[in-house]
């Protein structure tokens, strides 16, 4: 085990027994939503994982330690601290860990910690990807490269809608990362069910995804997988509606000089304002849906491993 990794006792016991565990990120707590919705949502997401029969393991950096599994008090602390907690991607780990700092894990770092702990399934809202204008800014999320080299399946509602979705899908294809739809043959667009971009395949059940993961263990044991789960129809924001708000938020970010790691939190917060909170509600509902599906996949996968 990595000497910098602390695994919560409940998570460790489940892993030791071969039971289902689902990793969860902490950036959504500190940067994805305002307090107190962030803490409430994080606890509801953990409950959704449990309702599916799996054990949740929210990941963060606290006291210079990698944490796989947090207490409710830890989650409340991170939620109240909010943006004061640095976003921690792969490149940030040496500094944060060596200085005993706090860090909220992105998709990339959550995948890293999950793999260290032996957790195969991870639920989040949406993955990062290729930012619009990346042909000049070269702003491409580390999430995409992590998916190419870390064996964790990420259950998500596609990539965040503020991104260049076509370019994001192309990079995943280039990296050889399977992107499979849950009962859909199109890449979900986070707030919207469809992006118009076709996926190479779809599966219809948690058990089918678990079987795909077992095959991947044998043929590509160092790679991740994207499980694309569309937002439920009743919570969807039509692409034309959300698209106009995203364009306005992007223009404002450019005017204000928002760049780098600050871009995504700014855009998500501004879009929430422009939609009168509808995007925040959609974000919460899609994360809960992803957590339930991830729990089901993890349970089925654990069953296959024990068979």
Q: Rg for the chain (alpha carbons), in Å?
A: 18
Task: Report, as an integer, the average pLDDT of 221-247.
Answer: 91
Residue that has been written with the tokens 């991947």 in this structure: 216
Q: Which residue segment(s) compose the domain that 267 sits in?
A: 5-306
Higher pLDDT residue, 306 or 232? 232
Residue with tokens 């190479």: 200
**Nearest-angstrom CA–CA distance, 20 and 55:** 6
Q: How far apart are CA 212 and CA 120, in angstroms?
A: 12
Active site (catalytic) residues = 25, 160
Per the structure block, which two tokens stand in for 210? 């678990």
Q: What is the pTM of this model?
A: 0.93
What CATH code is carried by the domain that includes residue 92? 3.40.1790.10
pLDDT in tens, 81-114: 999 999 999 999 999 999 999 999 999 999 999 9
Provide the pLDDT for residue 56. 98
Q: Which two tokens stand for residue 301?
A: 């996968």
Cα gap 300→294, rounded to integer Å: 10
Mean pLDDT calculated for residue range 297-305: 96
Q: Which residues contact 219 (CB under 8 A, 6 or more apart)?
A: none
Average pLDDT across the chain, whole number: 92
pLDDT at position 65 is 96
CB 24 within 8 A of CB 110: yes
Residue-wise pLDDT tens digits, 110-152 = 999 999 999 999 999 999 888 777 777 778 889 999 999 999 9
| Inter-residue contact 293 to 123 (CB < 8 Å) | yes
Domain count, the chain: 1
């Amino acid at each position: 085990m990595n000497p910098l990794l602390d695994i919560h006792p409940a998570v460790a016991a489940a892993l030791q027994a071969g039971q289902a565990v689902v990793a969860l990120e902490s950036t959504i707590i500190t940067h994805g939503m305002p307090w107190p919705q962030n803490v409430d949502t994080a606890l509801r997401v953990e409950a959704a994982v449990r309702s599916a029969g799996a054990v949740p393991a929210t990941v963060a950096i606290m006291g210079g330690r990698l944490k796989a599994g947090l207490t409710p008090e830890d989650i409340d602390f991170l939620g109240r601290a909010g943006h004061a907690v640095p976003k921690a991607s792969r490149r940030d780990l040496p500094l944060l860990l060596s200085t005993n700092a706090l860090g909220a894990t992105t998709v990339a770092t959550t995948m890293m910690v999950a793999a260290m702990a032996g957790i195969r399934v991870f639920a989040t809202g949406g993955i990062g990807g290729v930012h619009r204008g990346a042909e000049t800014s070269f702003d491409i999320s580390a999430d995409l490269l992590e998916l190419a080299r870390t064996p964790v399946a990420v259950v998500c509602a596609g990539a965040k809608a503020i991104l260049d979705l076509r370019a994001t899908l192309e990079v995943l294809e280039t990296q050889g990362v399977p992107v499979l739809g849950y009962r859909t043959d199109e890449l979900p667009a986070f707030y919207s069910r469809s992006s118009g971009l076709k996926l190479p395949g779809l599966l219809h059940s948690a058990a089918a995804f678990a079987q795909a993961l077992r095959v991947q263990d044998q043929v590509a044991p160092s790679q991740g997988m994207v499980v694309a789960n569309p937002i439920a129809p009743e919570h969807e924001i039509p692409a034309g509606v959300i698209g106009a708000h995203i364009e306005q938020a992007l223009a404002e970010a450019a005017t204000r000089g928002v760049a780098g790691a600050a871009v995504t939190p700014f855009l998500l917060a501004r879009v929430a304002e422009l939609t009168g909170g509808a995007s925040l509600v959609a974000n919460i509902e899609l994360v809960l849906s992803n957590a339930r599906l991830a729990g089901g996949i993890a349970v089925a996968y654990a069953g296959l491993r024990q068979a």
